[in-house]
Structure 1
Amino acid sequence: MSTSALDQIHLQIMWNRLLSVVEEQAQTLIRTAFSTSVREAGDLSAGVFDMQGRMLAQAVTGTPGHVNAMAASVGFFLEKFPPEKMEDGDIYITNDPWLGTGHLHDFTVVTPTFKDGKPVAMFASTSHVVDVGGIGFGPDGRQVYEEGIYIPIMHLAKRGVMNEALFDIVRANVREPLQVEGDLYSLAACNETGSKRLLEMMREFGLETLDEVGGHIVENSRKAMLEEISKLPRGTFRNSMRIDGYEKEVDLVCALTVSDDGIFVDFDGTSPVSLYGINVPITYTEAYASFGVRCVIGGQIPNNWGSLIPVKVTAPEGSILNAPHPCAVAARHVIGQMLPDVVLGCLEQAMNEGVPAEGTSSLWNPMLLGGHGVVDADYGNARPFAMNIFHTGGTGARVAKDGLSATAFPSGVRNTPVEINETIAPLVVWRKEYRADSGGAGRYRGGTGQVMEIEHLEGAPFAISAMFDRCKHAPRGRQGGAKGALGRVRTVNGLELRPKGRQTIPAGDRLILEMPGGGGVGDPFTRPVEAVAEDVLNGIVTVEGARAHYGVVVDAGGTVDAAATKALREGPRAA
């Protein structure tokens, strides 16, 4: 490998160029996608790989669960289609949860890029589609066979000709064939964009292969990550977290070991597999556990094979974090997205500057459905629909900052706009607002959850496939900060709903989602009075909450009673 200063500059320029290539790849996917989960929420990933299956660059746009799991997934594609079997114009596809990104709703597409008749790279992309048939997106399946159509690694296109038989099978098995077919084409299109831009780059720089630039990326990233890890004290740090689960509570148990060779994360002691579809394949566990490490260690290092190598993740087979086939896995995000909080709890013990508090973490993204057979009532002549909406509660308070309100962490997806949802389904959202007092009190307040109120526009019943957590076990604060508020699922007419499973909203009633808030950091009575007053003025904290949790006497207009506040803060703590 070249070592001169000029050669190193050229390699860095090419690395930066690769990053721009994959970002354009991702933007093509967003612009051409049919599903709102991709187009509006950004539930996707895009990246470029060398012919050894090493991820060289990933788009910033995308989720850790997709990107990091896809980094392992491409190796499985190479086992089925090694370079010598690839042909120009080939495109490969799978939604195998154990060879892809964890459940059947995610399709991964891999496209080899050919230059002068030889494969020189592979572009891979993943997106979440609205439906794959079966019982629908939700946690109620008992085996993966019930959860939808299962596509092994195979050709989406061969020598430039699309696999029409595959499309016929997909269209016949899903509720929204136009959207799903469109999304498969968008995955192929974004990889094609990446291939074109890569070939332009290679011609511009006179490259025949990516071997040299790929080696530079991987090795520099690996060394940089190990250098960051070397700043931590050596040892094993432990943390556990109990969450709601489905049929029973789930314990996530973690031991994180820092050594000269990197960080080893082990989930031995974690609860066994569930009877329902909240189980997590190991690739998804690896993706979010490693992301938890990267949140506070080496965050400035681009995510690629080299920066991922120093973080090893294991979980016992048969545990809920290493669920074997044919366990049901459709709602694996409910458990998997909790893992960064667990890992950060270990790292808090190893770091002086602290880490964020626990947050809502897993998305509150219900599947809403209407039509014959999907509700426990007569649906009449109302328009059938199937829609997956993406929303979330608050994040935990950050280091020396408040938590983010109604923001998805760790997935990073966006809330889907109400206006978009209402154009594609006969639903109306009557209310979408911050949930006052839901953020855990602290020197730094937890992020605030939100409240949504949804009704069938045509007066018919509709179904919710609920996949929610933090309704029994609230996000915990750190360093004396309070817990965030628990989530709740109910209707306007007083019907209490379970946080997981398909249920019917009666005709004329309205669904209410009350999303959790994040935990706080630090003693709430040390929060600046003016910050509490501003929260009250903005409707984030109530007048009663300010007094009870922060010792601040303030009216709804934000005017503070300084004398009463001083007496309250210096006297016995409020109940």
Structure 2
Amino acid sequence: MGLNAIDLEVARHRFTAAADEMGGVLRRTGYSPNIKERADFSTALFVPAGELLAQAEHIPVHLGSMPASVQAVIDAFGSTLELDAQYAVNDPYYGGTHLNDLTIVRPVAFGGDLVGWVANRAHHSDVGGDAPGSMPADATRLDQEGHVVPPTLAARQGQWVPEFLDPFLAATRTPDERVGDLSAQLGANEVGARRLIELCEAYGPAGISAVCDGLLDYGERRMRAAIGDLPDGAYEFEDYVEGPDRLHNIAVRVTIDGSELHADFAGSAPQVEANFNSVEAVAVSCLYYAVRVATDPSIPANGGCYRSVTMSSPAGSIVSAEPPAAVAAGNVETSQRIADALLGALAQAAPEAVPAASQGTMNNVLAGSDAFAYYETVGGGQGGRRGLAGQSGIHTGMTNTKNTPIESLVQHYPLRITAYGLRSGSG
């Protein structure tokens, strides 16, 4: 099947539209304010081998790590894969971020053959653990943060499998809310699968494979060209994450060699007896985000554009923790500092593209009891870039959610807000 640039661009937008529609369905049918108001979720499509095909413009820390969760499902089930089933995983050591972020993965078949995957990741405001919100500040082990779901068969033909659902609901403080959000995740994948099948019908079995290969190869060519435009060299930067009693360094060396880019985190602090350890999948997400900031934003966001981007990190470090380390703050705080370190290095190669430092935090707020769990990330300052001033009161870096409107907050939670606004003189 001969494909020109116009064919590929049309196909790219059709796949991206499917991911966007999945996100729209998830938000409209979500039960909790965290889904229907804050839009704390991400959606994407994948080729049969698990490589990212298309994504909606959602949450960077979700999107860069989701391919690892899809791959974990592929590795876990292999020849026993059920094409009419959906699978769940939230284990950070299987491509997850933190336990609140549950990924639902659905294989898509056409003519009896696997033609791809659709997946979404959504933040569940409580999945058990030692504190409401499932991010206890004093956790040192993953199981203290909530219910752990390794790659698991979750649903068949649209019906939940009790072996997945029952322990998940037993662990959470808010089971009714969880059922609603889980059902929204299931429905979003069904819509994505339907759209992918429609594209298979339009292109045919051979055509859809050629289109997917063409899009991934196109993404690779574009990214290689963009990296090739950056000056060769090794660029180093170091940032820190604040622990309870001392600073822990994040060191990175970014090497650009022709069309290849490699980030090495050797020299970073070892993992800690606290919850701000990052898993490798989160660090990979940070790298992908930083590279996209430093290069042409029109490059398609797919697995092809990351083929020339690699990373190494010391096992057992704060950027590549090993089980059973706690990781909740590693996802929501340390990730921001990893991204900052990478941007600090890349700013030396692409000073016109990389902005000044931003707030470097997600400003997490949690409140709850045995009856409710409220979660919020509060926007802060975004650094300016050449020719453009920074912005105030927005999310930056690895997050991209909205805030909970006050009207919704007081409707759903036993809370009252007396004032909400930018702090005068804070920026």
Task: Determine the structure 2 residue equivalent to 1:26.
Answer: 23
TM-score under structure 1 length normalisation = 0.71
Q: Aligned AA for 1:407?
A: I
Q: Aligned AA for 1:164?
A: P
Verify the 8 A CA contact 1:111 1:191 in the aligned structure 2.
yes
Verify the 8 A CA contact 1:365 1:392 in the aligned structure 2.
no
Q: CA deviation at 1:20?
A: 0.8
Verify the 8 A CA contact 2:199 2:208 in the aligned structure 1.
no
Q: CA deviation at 1:161?
A: 3.6
After superposition, residues 254-273 of structure 1 pair within 5 angstroms as 254-273=252-271
Task: Determine the structure 1 residue equivalent to 2:149.
Answer: 151
Verify the 8 A CA contact 1:256 1:265 in the aligned structure 2.
yes
Task: Determine the structure 2 residue equivalent to 1:415.
Answer: 403
TM-score under structure 2 length normalisation = 0.94
Verify the 8 A CA contact 2:129 2:147 in the aligned structure 1.
yes
Q: How far apart, CA to CA, are the structure 2 residues paired with 1:224 and 1:214?
A: 15
Task: Determine the structure 1 residue equivalent to 2:173.
Answer: 175
After superposition, residues 126-205 of structure 1 pair within 5 angstroms as 126-136=121-131, 137-138=134-135, 139-205=137-203
Task: Determine the structure 1 residue equivalent to 2:99.
Answer: 104
Task: Determine the structure 2 residue equivalent to 1:389.
Answer: 376
Verify the 8 A CA contact 1:370 1:386 in the aligned structure 2.
yes
Q: How far apart, CA to CA, are the structure 1 residues paired with 2:353 and 2:372?
A: 46
Verify the 8 A CA contact 2:89 2:96 in the aligned structure 1.
no
Task: Determine the structure 2 residue equivalent to 1:368.
Answer: 367
Q: CA deviation at 1:162?
A: 2.0
CA distance 1:160–1:438, change in 2 (3 Å): closer
Verify the 8 A CA contact 2:107 2:117 in the aligned structure 1.
yes
Q: How far apart, CA to CA, are the structure 2 residues paired with 1:216 and 1:246?
A: 49
Q: CA deviation at 1:12?
A: 3.0
Q: CA deviation at 1:75?
A: 1.1
Task: Determine the structure 1 residue equivalent to 2:50.
Answer: 53
After superposition, residues 268-347 of structure 1 pair within 5 angstroms as 268-332=266-330, 333-347=332-346
CA distance 1:135–1:247, change in 2 (3 Å): farther
After superposition, residues 531-550 of structure 1 pair within 5 angstroms as none
Verify the 8 A CA contact 2:294 2:350 in the aligned structure 1.
no
The answer on 1:230 being equivalent to 2:228 is yes
Q: CA deviation at 1:208?
A: 5.0
Q: Aligned AA for 2:247?
A: E
Offset from partner CA, 1:240-277 (integer Å, 9 cap, x none): 11332334212111111111241111111111112111
Verify the 8 A CA contact 1:37 1:416 in the aligned structure 2.
yes
Task: Determine the structure 1 residue equivalent to 2:2.
Answer: 2
Verify the 8 A CA contact 2:48 2:115 in the aligned structure 1.
yes
Q: How far apart, CA to CA, are the structure 1 residues paired with 2:299 and 2:243?
A: 34
CA distance 1:256–1:262, change in 2 (3 Å): same
Percent identity between matched residues is 29
Task: Determine the structure 2 residue equivalent to 1:398.
Answer: 385
Verify the 8 A CA contact 1:140 1:277 in the aligned structure 2.
yes
Verify the 8 A CA contact 1:49 1:121 in the aligned structure 2.
yes
1:15 corresponds to which of 12, 35, 38: 12
CA distance 1:22–1:254, change in 2 (3 Å): same
Tell me the secondary structure at the aligned position of residue 331 of structure 1: helix
Tell me the secondary structure at the aligned position of residue 368 of structure 2: strand
Q: How far apart, CA to CA, are the structure 2 residues paired with 1:425 and 1:337?
A: 28
Q: CA deviation at 1:354?
A: 5.6
**Higher relative contact order (Cα pairs below 8 Å, separated by 6+ residues):** 2
Offset from partner CA, 1:273-319 (integer Å, 9 cap, x none): 12111111100111012201211213211211011222212221111
Q: How far apart, CA to CA, are the structure 2 residues paired with 1:259 and 1:43?
A: 36
- CA RMSD, Structure 1 to Structure 2 (Å): 1.7
Task: Determine the structure 1 residue equivalent to 2:40.
Answer: 43
Aligned residue pair count = 422
